[in-house]
Amino acid sequence: MNCQKPCSVYKTADLLTKLFMDKTLKFIGISHKTATVTQREMFHISELEKETLSDMIHNTFSDISGLFILATCNRTEIYFESTLTSSAKLRDFIIIHKVKDYSKSIVNYFKCSDSTEETARHLMDVASGLESMVLGDAEIVHQIKKAHQFSIANKMQGSLLERTLQSVFKSHKRISNETHFRDGTTSVAYKSLKVIRDIYGKTNSKDKKILFIGAGDIVKQLFKYNSKFNYSNIYISNRTVEKAELLSKAFNCTLYDWNKVLENDFQDFDVIISAASNCHHLIKSVQPSTNKLVLIDLAIPSNIDKSLTEGQNVVFYDLDLISIDLEETKEKRLAAIDEVDIIITDEFNQFKKWLEDATLRDNLIKSKQSINQKVRQYFIENNEEPDDQKIQDVTNKVMRKLMSKTNTKVSIYKIDNIIAQQAHLLYEI
């Protein structure tokens, strides 16, 4: 299409879509594929921040309706429905809001799309685990469900988002039932516990003194997967003591004073796994020791100052390192990728069919109203009494004519000619 032409030409269906169905699903995202841990943590959105940020977005961009914020250890993505606001505009808003700086290098951290279909397919790929640092990671679906619940609770659903998410959940169910892609355990929590065993040995690791910091999803997963390792000397500490108490009672471990964590008083711990939200560089120092100390940072923003890795007898892992060469089921999952892609493509095609049908239905209703007004105006301009039945008859004829031309090009201004033709044929006006 030549945008310089005064008389734009479209396929009829595209024309109606452009006129009456402007709302599209878009997204911006930063992930392990585009940025390092340090770069990603600048744009992490905590649970506490979500509501405030959602309000800011809606107040700044009044055309944004549906909003969905997905914030995990390895990615921060915002999906939204809008008529005018582009993904680039929202990306720039987030950059200024989070880092108060704007540069081309920071912009390059982000992936964006203004296409409903491209956005929907991206979310389906992310949810499947195909885009995860750990191939086939099943935790991402739970995080998507949690983000969905937040959107529902805050009345931020949108029709395009809702339909996309239904396709996501259906794909997930089929992948679990029809392939081996979900076989085995590949969560970062499981891998962290496995690192302890790999470093200290299966026998010696059993009674090592281990501290879990935090009480969120990752720490809950650590307790869940400990049933496979049976570490018996576990302590837990959390900013909100009540949450730590619940976990300590549920999993029979020992509470550790949060104030001691703030003071970086870690006594004689052999392992510290930190996953506290919104606690950047919580751990800045550790006591010198002749014994080996394993530090595992599973938080975004990072909880552990990386300069500690310079100390003797300190072994350090962050989210990037924890995922390297630790996947026991990698080959089986790689073999299932084609099957997963077929399922996602099938569900995506069904989504596209729904989108086409929904767009057509919406366009028919809205365009018929518009055509009806144009027909009425035509009657008035030709000194005819605007009889409702005649106007309705001409409108129906024009609509049928337009819909018969869905694969041909029609000038927007030719609609007036079609109205004139049908009015003359029916009533010689």
Burial class (CB in 10 A: 0-12, 13-18, 19+), 364: middle
Report residues of the chain scoring pLDDT below 50: 1-21, 407-410
Query: Residue 7 has what pLDDT?
Result: 38
Query: Residue 325 has what pLDDT?
Result: 52
Total-model pTM:
0.63
Distance of CA 255 to the CA centre of its chain: 35
CATH number attached to the domain at 22-184+333-356 = 3.30.460.30
Q: At what angle do helices 388-403 and 337-381 cross, to 10 degrees?
A: 140
Q: Please report which residue ranges of 336-383 form alpha helices under DSSP H.
A: 337-381
Query: Residue 297 has what pLDDT?
Result: 96
Query: Residue 20 has what pLDDT?
Result: 39
Query: Residue 19 has what pLDDT?
Result: 40
Query: Residue 2 has what pLDDT?
Result: 37
207: left (phi over 0), alpha (psi -120 to 50) or beta: alpha
- HSE-up of residue 427 (Cα within 13 Å, Cβ side): 20
Query: Residue 358 has what pLDDT?
Result: 72
User: Considering the chain, what is the average pLDDT of its residues?
Assistant: 86
Q: What topology is assigned to 188-326 in CATH?
A: Rossmann fold (3.40.50)
Query: Residue 406 has what pLDDT?
Result: 52
Query: Residue 228 has what pLDDT?
Result: 87
Query: Residue 5 has what pLDDT?
Result: 35
Angle formed at CA 77 by CA 74 and CA 79, multiple of 5 degrees = 155
pLDDT digits (tens, 9 = 90+) for 235-293: 999 999 999 999 999 999 999 999 999 999 998 999 999 999 889 999 999 988 888 99
Query: Residue 328 has what pLDDT?
Result: 52
> Residue holding tokens 């493509």?
345
Hey, where are the domains in the chain?
22-184+333-356, 188-326, 362-427
Burial class (CB in 10 A: 0-12, 13-18, 19+), 20: middle
Query: Residue 6 has what pLDDT?
Result: 36
- How many whole angstroms separate alpha carbon 362 and alpha carbon 218? 43
- How many whole angstroms separate alpha carbon 245 and alpha carbon 236? 8
Burial class (CB in 10 A: 0-12, 13-18, 19+), 382: exposed
